Structure 1
Amino acid sequence: MMLKELFKSKGVKQKWLANKIGVSEVTVSNWVMKKTEPSLKNYQKISEVLGVPLKELME
């Protein structure tokens, strides 16, 4: 799933997610722009915070 679409569907901002999972806003921005990928640990945090199955996030 594309993070940008996920943020839009959940009504959240990159800054909010960054604060919730303990990374910088730039890090989240890089994930959204596909410059980098979240680590498995960060995928797990995103999954928990946004209530999205881990498998779906990693597709």
Structure 2
Amino acid sequence: MLKELLESKGVKQKWLANKIGVSQVSVSNWVKGKSEPSLKNYQKISELLEIPLKELTQQ
């Protein structure tokens, strides 16, 4: 879901990584489903992408 959100918002993984304070590899792993962001990072993504946290965390 994160990949689609980034594309729909026109956001690059590198931008998101810089804004959250994580590596681009971390964001890439989230996008690929290899790992999940922490709750704190989910909250930051929610704020940055202007999407409700509940919607972001639904699978």
State how far apart, in whole Å, the 2-side matches of 1:35 and 1:44 are: 19
State how far apart, in whole Å, the 2-side matches of 1:52 and 1:22 are: 19
One-letter code of the match for 2:39? L
Q: Where does residue 38 of structure 2 map in the other structure?
A: 39
Q: Gapped runs of 5+ residues in structure 2? A: none
State how far apart, in whole Å, the 1-side matches of 2:44 and 2:25 are: 17
Corresponding pairs, count:
58
Matched, 1:6 2:14: no
User: What is the TM-score normalised by the length of structure 1?
Assistant: 0.96
One-letter code of the match for 1:53? P
Q: Where does residue 30 of structure 1 map in the other structure?
A: 29
State how far apart, in whole Å, the 1-side matches of 2:41 and 2:33 are: 15
- Superposed CA RMSD: 0.4
User: What is the TM-score normalised by the length of structure 2?
Assistant: 0.96
One-letter code of the match for 1:27? S
Q: Percent identity?
A: 79
Q: 4+ residue stretches of structure 1 with deviation over 2 A?
A: none
